[in-house]
C-alpha cells in the first residue's frame, strides 16, 4: 500500500501538488493493481485495433520504402518515449474504475473531450519532440561513425556494426545518448499525464511535479524505470505480441503509481 505517512515533499509553491516518499512495495502494488485493471477491462483491444497496426505500417514504410534500416533500432527503442502519451486513455479507464464509474474500454477515448486536452497535447508534443531529437541524434551518430552507402544491405550493415571498431563505438555512444533521452523523458512524464487528467493542472506544473517525484524517490523511480524497460524488452522478445499485454498493464500501473506518489 502507499506510504501515506511518509515524508511529504513540497514542490515549488504551496498551491502545487505535493509528493510522497514511496517504497519498492508500492511499485509491486501498483503493478498488481494495473494487472487487475487489465483483467477487468482488457484494454489491449485498443492497442490491437489502433496503435500496433499503425506503428507497424509507419515503421515498415520508413525502413523499407525510404531505405533507412540503420534507424530501425532507434525507432523501436525511441517509440517507448511516447508510451506515457499513448497511454492517456488507460489512465482514464483506471481513474473511472477507482471511482466506481463505468470503466469500459470505450471510455479510453473519452479523455479526448477533457477540458485539459490542450495541456495533454502540449506535453505530448514535447515528448514527440524528444523522440524526433533522438532520431536525429542517432542518424548523426550513424553518419559520423559508419556512413555506409544508402543501398547497404542488411547483412553488410550488421557486420559493420558488430565487427568493426567504429561500429562498437556507435553502439556505446548511441546507447549512452539514448539513455540520457530516456531519463529526461521519464523524469518529465512519469506522473505528468495522470496528474493533468485527474486534477486538470497545466503542463508546467505537471512536469515540475513529475521531476520532483523522481528527485524525492530516486532509488524507487530507478527501479520503476528498470521494471518498465525489462517488461518492454520482454514484450518485444515475444515478436511484439507480448506488448499487447505489457503496454496496457504498464499504463494502468502508472495511474496507480501516480496515486501513490502525489499527495
Each residue of 3-61: pLDDT tens digit?
A: 443 444 444 434 678 889 999 999 999 999 999 988 887 766 666 545 655 665 666 66
Per-residue burial over 72-106, b = 16 or more CB atoms within 10 Å of its CB, e = otherwise: bebbebbbbbbbbbbbbbbbbbbbbbeeeeebebe
Least confident of 62-66, 151-155, 170-174, 259-263: 62-66
Give the CB-side neighbour count of residue 61, counting CA atoms within 13 A: 6
Closest to 38 measured CA to CA, from 189, 253, 256 = 253
Q: What is the pLDDT of residues 51-100, one digit of tens each?
A: 655 665 666 666 665 567 778 788 878 878 888 888 888 898 888 888 88
**Main-chain phi, psi angles of 41, to 5 degrees:** -135, 90
pLDDT above 50 for 242: yes
Domain ranges of the chain: 24-261
- The pLDDT, as a whole number, for residue 194 is 94
pTM for the model stands at 0.84
Amino acid at each position: 500500500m502507499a506510504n501515506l505517512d511518509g515524508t511529504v515533499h513540497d514542490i515549488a509553491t504551496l498551491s502545487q501538488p505535493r509528493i510522497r516518499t514511496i517504497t519498492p512495495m508500492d511499485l509491486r502494488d501498483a503493478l498488481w493493481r494495473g494487472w487487475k485493471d487489465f483483467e477487468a477491462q482488457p484494454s489491449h483491444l485498443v492497442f490491437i485495433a489502433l496503435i500496433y497496426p499503425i506503428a507497424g505500417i509507419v515503421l515498415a514504410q520508413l525502413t523499407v520504402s525510404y531505405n533507412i534500416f540503420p534507424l530501425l533500432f532507434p525507432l523501436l527503442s525511441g517509440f517507448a518515449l511516447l508510451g506515457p502519451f499513448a497511454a492517456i486513455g488507460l489512465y482514464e479507464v483506471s481513474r473511472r474504475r477507482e471511482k466506481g464509474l463505468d470503466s469500459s474500454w470505450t471510455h479510453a477515448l473519452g479523455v479526448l473531450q477533457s477540458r485539459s486536452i490542450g495541456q495533454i497535447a502540449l506535453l505530448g508534443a514535447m515528448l514527440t519532440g524528444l523522440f524526433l531529437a533522438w532520431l536525429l541524434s542517432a542518424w548523426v551518430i550513424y553518419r559520423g561513425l559508419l556512413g555506409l552507402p544508402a543501398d547497404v544491405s542488411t547483412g553488410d550493415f550488421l557486420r559493420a556494426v558488430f565487427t568493426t571498431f567504429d561500429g562498437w563505438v556507435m553502439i556505446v555512444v548511441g546507447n549512452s545518448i539514448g539513455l540520457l533521452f530516456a531519463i529526461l523523458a521519464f523524469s518529465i512524464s512519469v506522473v505528468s499525464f495522470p496528474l493533468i487528467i485527474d486534477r486538470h493542472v497545466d503542463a508546467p506544473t505537471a512536469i515540475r511535479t513529475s521531476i520532483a517525484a523522481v528527485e524525492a524517490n530516486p532509488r524507487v523511480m530507478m527501479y520503476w524505470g528498470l521494471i518498465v524497460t525489462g517488461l518492454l524488452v520482454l514484450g518485444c522478445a515475444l515478436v511484439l505480441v507480448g506488448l499487447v499485454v505489457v503496454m496496457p498493464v504498464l499504463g494502468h500501473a502508472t495511474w496507480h503509481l501516480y496515486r501513490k506518489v502525489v499527495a
